[in-house]
Amino acid sequence: MSLTLGLNNGGVALKRIVLLALWVALAGCAADRPKPTPLDTYAPQITGTQVWTAQLSRVGFPLVPVARDGAFLVAGGAGEVMALDIETGALRWRADAAEPLAAGVGSDGRFTSVVTRTNQVVTFENGRELWRKRVPSSVVTPPFVAGERVFVMAVDRTVHAFDALDGRRLWTLQRPGDALTLAQSSVMGAYKNTLLVAQGSRLAGVDPLRGTVQWEVPMAAPRGSNEVERLADLVGPAARVGDRLCMRAFQSAVGCADLSRGAVAWTRTAAGINAVASDGEFVFGADASDRITAWRALSGDIAWTNEKLLYRGLSGAQVVGQSVVFGDIEGYVHFLSSSTGVQQLRLSTNGKPVVGSPLVAGGTLLVATQDGGLFAFRAN
């Protein structure tokens, strides 16, 4: 895998940013990665069907769709933003940010926000543009929209809060950071009245009204002889089940935080770059060689591993019923038993790499490919 180093003027200090393009990682960095393991034969244990498709422009940023109020909210690299009916794929509304996107999409169902490559935060209400405001540094993590606020985290880890109605800047949280940071979609979310944001390898609980840090927990212990080896930024989206939030630290660890106590529940050393998923009993993820592991959610002990999809450029994980799902570099979608790791089903898209993590809502699984293809499946 190749890393591109860039420069970013973040406040007083000149910070170097690692620009890690997610689609390059999913493409497997063919020059230095073994060939994908050939797919073996298997006996399907469940059935599944493709129920609709849609098309975005090519995705050149970490695509993280959102499901709200019976619709999938999605965005394409050229700047289009769409709300698609979860059941039918019918277009509810469409908007245009008028610029290529660097991050998207965040939505609470009413307000939907994206960020352009020129660092413009653009917010729509039911497809109508309300406002756009510029932030000082680049953004790759989708905005988080809640409580009539739009929260934006830049690559330099600065967090900005805007009023969703008029774009008024409410506060900015900027803290001293590491010299090197990771330009990959990170962790933002909420737990009760607390905003959850990643700050490198630490998860912080922030007062959403004032922008003050209430607590933070270390999810990894960065190690290495240089700054690149010590990168351990948290990778999103995180998986929340009840009071637990489980996540990956880049090429370092997988672990869960107990949000009720603001404390680490457990962490385990695990290389990997993509998001994990959880069903409350297990936490699932693929490592750098695409070995899939299921950790027990309460203890972090390994329950099972699967090595039949090695080097297939697996996506982030998603849980669907009694299955855990991964997409791969050839556009296949793999359903594995969540309790045993045995292959249950394999579906195909358009032969292009699956990007981000699949998203499930109302029994419909949405998978996005690198060329902007959207594929909705239902498994039985």
226-258 per-position pLDDT tens digit: 666 667 889 999 999 999 999 999 989 999 999
Give the 3-state secondary structure of 33-48. CCCCCCCCCCCCCCCE
Residue 171 is given by DSSP the state: E
Tally the residues of the chain: 380
How is 6-33 classified by DSSP, letter by letter?
EEEEETTEEEEEEE--HHHHHTT-GGGS
Residue with tokens 């709200």: 68
Task: Give residue-wise pLDDT tens across range 296-347.
Answer: 999 999 999 999 999 999 999 999 999 999 999 999 999 999 999 999 999 9
Helix (H) / strand (E) containing 117: none
Position 53 confidence tier, pLDDT thresholds 50, 70, 90: very high
Model confidence over 14-51: pLDDT tens digits? 344 444 433 334 334 445 779 999 999 999 999 999 99
What is the DSSP code string of 364-379? EEEEEETTSEEEEEEE
Q: Any idea which architecture 63-183 has in CATH?
A: Beta Barrel (2.40)
Q: Reading across the β-sheet that carries 188-191, which strands appear in turn?
A: 188-191, 194-199, 202-206, 213-218
Amino acid code (one letter) for 145? V
17-21, 42-46, 96-100, 268-272 — which is least confidently predicted?
17-21
Give me the sheet containing 180-182, strands edge to edge: 4-10, 13-19, 180-182
DSSP strands (E only) in 20-142: 48-55, 66-68, 71-75, 80-85, 91-96, 101-107, 111-116, 120-125, 128-134
Q: Is the pLDDT of residue 3 over 90?
A: no
R_g over Cα of the chain:
19
The full set of domain ranges for the chain reads 63-183
> With 50 as the cut, is the pLDDT of residue 261 above it?
yes
Q: What integer pLDDT is reported at residue 104 of this predicted model?
A: 80
Mean pLDDT of 192-221: 95
Dist CA 286 CA 309 (whole Å) = 10
Assess whether the previous peptide bond of 222 is cis (omega < 30° from 0): no
User: Looking at per-residue confidence, does 62 or 210 come out higher?
Assistant: 210
Q: DSSP string of 213-271?
A: EEEEEE------SSTTTT---EEEEEEEETTEEEEEETTTEEEEEETTTTEEEEEEE--
Is the pLDDT confidence value at 71 over 60? yes
- pLDDT of 372 above 90: yes
